[in-house]
Structure 1
């Protein structure tokens, strides 16, 4: 059976020959796929490292927050003690001045 392009002029045949063959195209595709697979692997490794960095940052922030909460509690206790001392000093002063 004849190829339909056999009926067309020679210019069409030469154009068909200029189109790269499937084997060359497949090789290019396999190269691109290999490059993309390498890029995906690199990005997965980078995301794992970033995840480790993120976990470390979260742990550091949690430790700092716990420390801040401890200091907040200490600040509240100190403020309460100073308030009681101030009231303990000022009440007798006002009672003395009022009498």
Structure 2
């Protein structure tokens, strides 16, 4: 590791501290004129974003309805129910 990365890691508890966590969740409030222009005002107003700290994976919930969430990986983007049933998905979204 570079000296800067080592210094930052140590300042925040070291790698042992870092390895204790597998995910992070942030509660966010989204708004502004962009969503109104898209005809989606209020849909993503209060949501949570969960990040996987070990893999490239993120999820937003609720998403457009209380029982829906997103699931994003580099290989796939999807909208799922809380039970994991897929309502919409796209494989290889960068293609």
Task: Provide the TM-score with structure 2 as the length reference.
Answer: 0.18
Q: TM-score, length-normalised on structure 1?
A: 0.18
Higher helix residue share: 1
User: Which gives a bigger RCO, structure 1 or 2 (Cα 8 Å, sep 6+)?
Assistant: 2
- From the two aligned structures, give the one with the greater strand fraction: 2
Please identify the structure whose Cα radius of gyration is greater.
Answer: 1
